[in-house]
Every structure is written in C-alpha cells, then in structure tokens.
Amino acid sequence: MTEATPEPAGPPPASPFDVPAYRVGVVDLLGVLAYGELSAFERLAADAALAPTLADKAALADMASAEYHHYERLAGRLVEMGADPYEAMEPFVASIDGFHESTRPADWLEGLIKAYVGDGIGADFYREVSTHLDPDTRDLVLAVCGDTGHAEFAIDRVRAAIAEDPRVAGRLALWGRRLVGEMLSQAQRVAAERDNLANLLVGGITGSPAGEDGYAGLPGFDLAEVGRIFAQLTEAHTRRLQALGLAA
C-alpha cells in the first residue's frame, strides 16, 4: 500500500459546491421545496375530493399530479447530489405540516384560494432566492415554481362564486390575509432553526467577508434586499387578492 500524501492547497474552488456550507444549504433548500411539493400534492388531492363537479375534480387532480412531478424532480436532484431526499425533507415536515394544520380550508373556495395565494407567495419567494444560486439549481427551482394552472382556475371559480353571492367576499378576504400571516410565521421558524439555509439566503455562504475561502460568487442577500423582497412579495400578494375580486 502506498502512503497517502496530503493534498496540496489547490486553486480557489471553481464551483460553489466546493464550499461545504453551500452544498448543505442547497440540500436544505431542495428539501424544503420537495416537502412543500409533496404536501401541495396531498392538499390538492384532498381538495379534489371536495370539488363540486367532475370537471373541477379532474382539474384539481391534474394540478396535484403536476406537484408530484415537481417533487420527483427535486428528489431526483437530491439523489444526484448524493443526499437522501427523505432526510433532506425531514427537518421541514413539522413546520409545513403545522402551516397546513393551522390553515385547513373550511370549504372548496378556501382551498382554491389557499392553493393560488400560498403557491403564489412561495413561488415569488423561491424565484427571488434563485437569483443567488448556481445555474443548475436555479433552473430547477424556477421549473418547479412554474404555475401548474392554479391561477386561472382559482380566479375563475372564486370570481364566479362572488358574483353569485357577494357576501362571501368578506370572509374570503380575511382568509387571504390569514394565509400570509401563517406563512410568514412558519418561514421565520424555519429560518431560525436552519442556519445553513438562512446563511444561503441572507449574508452569503461563506460568512463575512464573502470570498475568504476563495469563492465569492454567491454573496446572499443584504438586509436592504431582504426589505425590498418582502415589499415585492406583499405587493404581488395584493395583486393576487385583487385578481380574485377580494380586498387585500
């Protein structure tokens, strides 16, 4: 047997994945997205059971199946990265399940709004996050955040319901506001518990100053950006509620 020689100090890492904290942060990010998609599948399938017509049921089943295929892509990438998808999802089960338990739709319309508004905010958030990621991870995140047909479907059904009985608008507007509050509180809980994920998003992957380990390409967001992103998310949420015919 030949004795292993210590490796010489190499050139600066050519990929952010050479920085261990980046890889761990991406596994966390794909894990939370994957469990989010698997939960979205479950929730849409449960909504399908409440659907008032067979056409609505089939439409919801179609969206649920699309979410499952997003899950498949995320789990597949985790496996490619040498990570166990179930382990990667596990840390996020309690907070995502908690969100769904605290926002159980009382009826079909609340379920539709939750799918549209919730997935809309999630997609906006992950799209912002993706700007700081390596190209492969970014493309995957953008692909799984694509609209699966919720938007048009929900807008159509909710507007029709309000046209039929304008009194439902007040209750549904309240529901829309409650959903955002619950999402933000769960997101804060996740960020507080997952340092690597929080570091991936805010403050960069290498601590400060960025670049000290030779890779400075993914600096994360600074606080001004975080403020701007929250303002954008809120504005987009308001526009979605207006599209539904609801006051934000």
Judged by CB under 8 A, the stretch of 46-54, 121-129, 183-191, 201-209 that binds a copy of itself is 46-54
Q: Which of residues 65-104 bind a copy of itself (CB under 8 A)?
A: 65, 68-69, 71-72, 75, 85-86, 89-90, 93
CB of 93 to a copy of itself, least distance (A): 7
For a copy of itself, the closer of residues 90 and 222 by Cβ is 90
Q: Which of 14, 49, 143, 160 binds a copy of itself (CB under 8 A)?
A: 49
Length of the chain: 248
154-174: burial string, b at 16+ Cβ within 10 Å, e else:
bbebbeebbeeeeebbeebbe
Q: Which of residues 123-152 bind a copy of itself (CB under 8 A)?
A: none
CB of 30 to a copy of itself, least distance (A): 14
Query: Which contacts (CB < 8 Å, 24+ apart) does range 81-87 have?
Result: 81/23, 81/26, 81/27, 81/30, 83/27, 83/30, 83/31, 85/31, 85/34, 87/31
Cβ contact 151:242 at 8 Å: no
230 lies in the site for a copy of itself, by CB under 8 A = no
Q: Which of 58, 79, 231, 247 binds a copy of itself (CB under 8 A)?
A: 58
Judged by CB under 8 A, the stretch of 47-55, 143-151, 178-186, 214-222 that binds a copy of itself is 47-55
Q: Which of 2, 53, 82, 167 binds a copy of itself (CB under 8 A)?
A: 53
Judged by CB under 8 A, the stretch of 15-23, 52-60, 143-151, 229-237 that binds a copy of itself is 52-60
Query: What backbone phi and psi angles, to 5 degrees, belong to 194?
Result: -120, 90
For a copy of itself, the closer of residues 194 and 240 by Cβ is 194
Q: Which of 4, 55, 106, 223 binds a copy of itself (CB under 8 A)?
A: 55
115 lies in the site for a copy of itself, by CB under 8 A = no
Separation CA 205–CA 227 (nearest Å): 19
Binding residues vs a copy of itself (CB under 8 A): 35, 38, 41-42, 45-46, 48-49, 53-55, 57-58, 61-62, 64-65, 68-69, 71-72, 75, 85-86, 89-90, 93
